[in-house]
């Protein structure tokens, strides 16, 4: 779990105070990985506390994070710093959170990041890493994974060394998120709850977090009678609780299929989940019904027929990436999931998307 958390509007201002005691020496800089939507946004950037050789690396989150991107960042950091950095600070959405976690792991572990995609493959503790989310929903700020697209698969580096040492939850940082992205990323959280609460891995720990996040999502996306600030605060907490819920259970059908979609088409995770989930009445009838209400309430139009022109080979890859996520299917369907979820079944589902 994340060891330290600060919550509050304006808590981003405490960053200097929080990280200063963690500086190892003047040659060991802090590296800030910052979503490039903030480039030139001095409201945020002027508050990044730079000293000595600290560096800001602006990173586009237009594509899902890749193992090759992690390895390139690690190489750049090693080549341009005098000593191993004092810490990695990620400021952005799920993509930046995942990159910050993966880079901090790969600075102390040999080889390439693709070698660590899986469960509990990380040997050495990561360097100090801080997560500062600027959009809410992914749960990446609290999770023990860092989902990466590698040469062979889309899969997380799941390990005890993955979670951030420190998280700063400042809901004010989410104030300028565009409407569609707010919805897609918020739905990532909503789908986490549905998949966790309806999974066979459910336990009282995950259930209590999942139920809270689910209730907050309904309050946010259906009841919709909060002030802008309250909504920012509550969505940040929903994301947190949704992330905690899946950390102790697992996601399900929507995530498995969305990984396949994303691997082949590069679809971003939030919208990809929505596209898939919209067609999953069969697995999550109540959850999908509410989702459609939320979509309609916020006038969200999802892309249609994404898979219309896929070749057989592309379908096969998509299906294989999805099927490889065995724990997700086991959680969703049960131990005998292979009897229900065949390549043919998945093809049929994908063909509607």
Q: Which residues of the shown chain bind a second copy in the complex (CB under 8 A)?
A: 1-5, 7-8, 160, 169, 171, 203-205, 207-209, 211-212, 215-216, 230, 233-234, 236-238, 240-241, 248
Return the number of the residue (98 or 233) whose C-beta is nearest a second copy.
233
CB 123 within 8 A of CB 161: no
Distance, in Å, from the CA atom of 238 to the CA atom of 232, rounded to the nearest integer, reads: 10
Q: At what angle do helices 179-197 and 269-277 cross, to 10 degrees?
A: 60
Distance, in Å, from the CA atom of 198 to the CA atom of 195, rounded to the nearest integer, reads: 5
Return the number of the residue (184 or 209) whose C-beta is nearest a second copy.
209
Return the number of the residue (5 or 300) whose C-beta is nearest a second copy.
5
Closest distance to a second copy from the beta carbon of 212 (Å): 4
Closest distance to a second copy from the beta carbon of 249 (Å): 10
DSSP state of 127: P
CB 120 within 8 A of CB 155: no
Return the number of the residue (18 or 265) whose C-beta is nearest a second copy.
18
Q: Is 150 left (phi over 0), alpha (psi -120 to 50) or beta?
A: beta
Closest distance to a second copy from the beta carbon of 234 (Å): 6
Closest distance to a second copy from the beta carbon of 2 (Å): 6
Return the number of the residue (50 or 121) whose C-beta is nearest a second copy.
121
CB 160 within 8 A of CB 282: no
Distance, in Å, from the CA atom of 188 to the CA atom of 168, rounded to the nearest integer, reads: 20
Rounded to 5 degrees, what angle do the CA atoms 204, 205, 210 make? 95
Tokens of 351: 């063909």
Rounded to 5 degrees, what angle do the CA atoms 266, 269, 272 make? 75
Closest distance to a second copy from the beta carbon of 181 (Å): 21
Place of tokens 């979670």: 163
Query: In sequence order, what are the beta bridge partners of 59?
Result: 35
Distance, in Å, from the CA atom of 131 to the CA atom of 14, rounded to the nearest integer, reads: 13
**Three-state DSSP class for residue 34:** strand
Within 10 angstroms of residue 203's Cβ, the number of other Cβ atoms is: 11
Closest distance to a second copy from the beta carbon of 205 (Å): 4
Closest distance to a second copy from the beta carbon of 202 (Å): 11
Return the number of the residue (65 or 133) whose C-beta is nearest a second copy.
133
Return the number of the residue (231 or 306) whose C-beta is nearest a second copy.
231
Closest distance to a second copy from the beta carbon of 204 (Å): 4
Nearest of 102, 110, 111, 106 to residue 144 by alpha carbon: 102
Return the number of the residue (113 or 146) whose C-beta is nearest a second copy.
146
Return the number of the residue (32 or 209) whose C-beta is nearest a second copy.
209
Closest distance to a second copy from the beta carbon of 95 (Å): 24
């Amino acid at each position: 779990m994340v060891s330290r958390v600060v919550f509050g509007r304006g808590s981003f201002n405490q960053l200097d105070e929080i990280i200063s005691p963690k500086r190892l020496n003047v040659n060991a800089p802090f590296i800030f990985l910052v979503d490039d939507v903030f480039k030139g946004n001095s409201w945020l950037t002027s508050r990044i506390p730079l000293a000595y050789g600290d560096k800001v690396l602006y990173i586009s989150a237009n594509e899902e994070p890749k193992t090759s991107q992690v390895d390139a960042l690690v190489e750049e950091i090693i080549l341009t710093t005098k000593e191993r950095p004092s810490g990695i600070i990620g400021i952005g959405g799920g993509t930046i959170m995942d990159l910050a976690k993966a880079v901090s792991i790969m600075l102390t572990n040999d080889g390439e990041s693709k070698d660590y995609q899986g469960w509990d493959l990380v040997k050495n503790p990561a360097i100090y890493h801080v997560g500062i989310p600027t959009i809410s929903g992914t749960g990446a700020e609290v999770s023990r994974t860092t989902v990466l697209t590698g040469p062979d698969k889309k899969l997380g580096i799941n390990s005890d060394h993955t979670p951030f040492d420190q998280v700063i939850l400042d809901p004010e940082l989410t104030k300028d998120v565009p409407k569609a992205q707010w919805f897609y990323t918020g739905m990532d959280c909503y789908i986490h709850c549905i998949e966790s609460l309806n999974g066979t891995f459910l336990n009282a720990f995950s259930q209590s977090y999942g139920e809270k996040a689910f209730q907050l999502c309904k309050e946010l996306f259906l009841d919709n009678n909060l002030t802008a600030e309250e909504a920012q605060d509550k969505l940040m907490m929903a994301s947190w609780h949704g992330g905690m819920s899946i950390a102790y259970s697992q996601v399900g059908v929507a995530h498995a299929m969305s990984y396949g979609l994303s691997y082949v088409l590069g679809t971003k995770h939030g919208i990809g989940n929505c596209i898939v989930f919209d067609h999953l009445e069969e697995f999550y009838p109540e959850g999908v019904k509410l989702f459609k209400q939320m979509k309609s309430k916020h006038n969200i139009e999802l892309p249609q027929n994404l898979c219309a022109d896929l070749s057989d080979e592309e379908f096969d890859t998509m299906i294989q990436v999805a099927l490889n996520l065995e724990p997700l299917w086991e959680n969703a369907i049960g131990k005998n999931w292979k009897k229900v979820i065949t390549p043919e079944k998945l093809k049929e589902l994908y063909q509607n998307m």
